[in-house]
Chain A
Amino acid sequence: MGGDFWCVFLWHGSNESLPSAEAVMFLKFSLRSVFYGAGGGNDIQWCFSQVKGAVDDDVAEADIISTVEFNHSGELLATGDKGGRVVIFQQEQENKTQSHSRGEYNVYSTFQSHEPEFDYLKSLEIEEKINKIRWLPQKNAAQFLLSTNDKTIKLWKISERDKRPEGYNLKEEDGRYRDPTTVTTLRVPVFRPMDLMVEASPRRIFANAHTYHINSISINSDYETYLSADDLRINLWHLEITDRSFNIVDIKPANMEELTEVITAAEFHPNSCSTFVYSSSKGTIRLCDMRASALCDRHSKLFEEPEDPSNRSFFSEIISSISDVKFSHSGRYMMTRDYLSVKIWDLNMENRPVETYQVHEYLRSKLCSLYENDCIFDKFECCWNGSDSIVMTGSYNNFFRMFDRNTKRDITLEASRENNKPRTVLKPRKVCASGKRKKDEISVDSLDFNKKILHTAWHPKENIIAVATTNNLYIFQDKMN
């Protein structure tokens, strides 16, 4: 990133005698990049930008946000909720005169993706909650995304309509058919502009392939296939074919009484279309190559860190369960999130992660209470920034954390309506684990465990982040001078 800015700066410098306003801005960016390191986590000043969602404290269960995802360009931001709805926000085109702020995200489309269903055979209700959304890269004017609940994946096409045909011969403008005998002249229908309408239509329904609850979907880099993973199996689909899928991983034991681990997340490698990883409830990650065999039960690599015996407790198993796995954009690293930490793994090294970041180590002594109130089962996600230099994940009390891999500094911020003036710089927060609490620190016992940030997303190119609290979506961006 820094390199690009330098090039531009030099170009401006050589062609103009006096630096233009633009050149000055580039100069600021490039100097900042050089001196502070591009994308330095603590050197980004995060500002509140927007918050979406209901204000009142009484949260309707259907409004609980269950997934957040930027599309490949970052122009669109999709959220899914427990009520089965998908809401897509679109970034406004940047206002050239207001160079100090990026476009706002406004609602672009809202649709009901999944409805509650009932499995009559098993007498079980199937929740409509959207577990994951994944965008396809844009190929034409329309946008496509995959959304999934526990059992069914759907491919949605989101398209714009800003023209409509008028002047049919056999139909009135309101759609009623005209009596053909009353037609005396012929005219050619023409397209006339209309108010922009965004339509979402389900193009494919991929159903009946999962016995257990789907936890992940991931689109292959070939943009033709994708995988879906449930607790015990991973299936490979072709985007065009809905009546068939290939099972590529099956860890169901012959006797369910011998079950010891489940699949918790799975993702395709960003560049290698035959490689994917899946994480388990035992804290292991397996990398599989589909070229090796049709059924990838034998992993190519197994990533596992030996347990620290001094940390052993009744809950060691639970907190080592991996809740999310994400490849870096480069494809060289992958990140895993377990209950207390974020780990970065080099794909070439299986026996331990290359970096470990503690998210909220102060909770280690509270595991029993967290088990009691079920918080220990919370599945936090994690994400990379566009340049893979910073990773972000959520915590409790509406806190979220960022770790800068280069400077090794970290920051804790809070998503709260109290800081809701645009361009208000967020104040770093600190949790006091024990002992004397300093001013502005918050003690562990005052943390609100009902306010959890499970889902976060980082714009693929800019320093814009989307952070979901229970039912609100916060958008923060860096302070642009």
Chain B
Amino acid sequence: MEFKLEAHRIVSISLGKIYSARGQRGGLKLHKNLLVSLVLRSARQVYLSEPGCPPEPPPAPAGHPEEEPPPRTAAWAAEEPPLPPPPQDEAGRDCPGPRPRRCCCGENRGGCAGAPPPPHCPRKRSAGERGQAGSPLKKPRREEEEPPPLPPPPSPPCEQEDMETGNVASLISIFGSSFSGLLSKEPKGRRRPPLDGGEAAAGTAPAEAAAEPGQICCDEPVLRTLNPWSTAIVAF
């Protein structure tokens, strides 16, 4: 399904950005990395809440939305009242024309085949919280609230043409310790990050891996072990 693919792509790109940000001159840019981590969280949410790699997208736009399980906004409910599920006919009406509702990354998809809009991840604070003093909202830990994961499909081929298992292993080892793993490594400019294992298999140095974000990581098990956004910027 296109959204899952798109979300996957965005996750790869985001991870690549975070990874390459480590070595940049002037130190970690907190603002940019925060934004990247928010996108990463969003995309991951979509990716994990969509069903596993489906067969060909159905030709008929109508009717498809009904099969979609309701978006798993349980994790977000703690922060804000959940939004109602999107109306059924809207998807049918939208496609193939441009979608007024969120189409994954907002791009107009003329050929979009009636997939429903991804679940909402409302992030604006509700009125009640607006009165809160300027300190940022605490984000509840998402991981515990997520429903048990679907059994991971065996490397769905439609999404992982260029799986670099070596890089995946490396990144798992880094991200496994919730981004503090990221930060314990030296910045790129000074020393090569001591990634374990995997480089030999991939044959590409981590710097180059970062340059090709599409190839980094991103199969479901990795995404689940990611301890996300929340911890993205513990740089300082």
Contact = CB atoms under 8 A, between A and B. Distances in A.
Interface string B122-136: 011000001001111
A304 B34 CA distance: 20
Interface stretch (B95-103, B167-175, B197-205): B95-103
Contacts of B231: 257
Interface stretch (A20-28, A119-127, A138-146, A409-417): A119-127
Contacts of B107: 365-368
B27 A260 contact: no
B120 interface: yes
A263 to B, nearest CB: 9
B108 interface: yes
Interface string A27-51: 0000000000000000000000000
A260 B136 CA distance: 6
A253 B136 contact: yes
Interface stretch (A1-9, A88-96, A306-314, A451-459): A306-314
Contact of B135 (A122, A251, A309): A251
Contacts of B13: 371-372
Contact of B31 (A231, A260, A367): A231
Interface residue tally on B, bucketed by range = 35 or more
Contact of A298 (B106, B130, B134): B134
A315 B136 contact: no
Nearest to B26: A127
A374 B38 CA distance: 15
B16 to A, nearest CB: 9
A428 B187 CA distance: 46
Contact of B230 (A258, A262, A366): A258
B135 to A, nearest CB: 6
A256 B187 CA distance: 20
Q: SS class of chain A's interface: helix, strand, loop or mixed?
A: loop
A96 to B, nearest CB: 49
A281 B100 contact: no
Contact of B120 (A123, A124, A126, A312): A312
Contact of A371 (B30, B102, B105, B130): B105
Contacts of A310: 100-102
Contacts, number: 143
The winner among A215, A306, A316 for most chain B CB atoms within 10 A is A316
Contact of B34 (A124, A259, A302, A307): A259
B32 A377 contact: yes
Given A123-B190, A213-B30, A306-B124, A299 B135 contact: no
Given A298-B133, A377-B32, A315 B233 contact: no
Contacts of B93: none
Contacts of B106: 311, 313-315, 364-365, 367-368
Nearest to B187: A123
B138 A365 contact: no
The winner among A213, A232, A304, A317 for most chain B CB atoms within 10 A is A317
A199 interface: no
A286 interface: yes
Contact of A313 (B26, B102, B187): B102
A212 interface: yes
B108 A365 contact: yes
Contact of A281 (B10, B31, B178, B234): B31
A124 B230 contact: no
A314 B10 contact: yes
Contacts of A260: 34, 136-137, 139
Nearest to B100: A310
B130 A302 contact: yes
Nearest to A363: B106
B104 interface: yes
Contacts of B29: 213
B73 to A, nearest CB: 13
B34 A314 contact: no
A393 interface: no
Contact of B236 (A129, A212, A302, A306): A212
B102 A312 contact: yes
A257 B108 CA distance: 34
B43 interface: yes
Contact of A368 (B32, B105, B186): B105
Nearest to B190: A123
A200 B17 CA distance: 40
Nearest to B118: A314
Contacts of A126: 26-27
A297 interface: yes
Interface in B199-236: 230-231, 233-234, 236
A397 to B, nearest CB: 20
Nearest to B27: A124
B204 to A, nearest CB: 20
A104 B7 CA distance: 53
Contacts of A317: 35, 38-39, 42, 123
Contacts of A316: 123
Contacts of A253: 135-136, 138
Interface string A203-229: 000000001110100000000000000
Nearest to A283: B124
Contacts of A262: 30-31, 34
B35 A125 contact: no
In the A-B complex, the 9 residue pairs with the closest CB atoms: A313-B106, A368-B105, A127-B26, A124-B27, A260-B136, A312-B102, A231-B30, A257-B231, A365-B108
7 contacts: A150-B26, A231-B31, A251-B134, A253-B138, A317-B42, A371-B13, A372-B13
Interface of B: 6-7, 10, 13, 17, 25-27, 29-32, 34-35, 38-39, 42-43, 46, 83, 98, 100-108, 120, 123-124, 130, 133-139, 178, 186-187, 189-190, 230-231, 233-234, 236
Given A310-B102, A315-B105, 7 more contacts: A231-B30, A260-B34, A260-B137, A281-B31, A310-B100, A314-B10, A317-B38
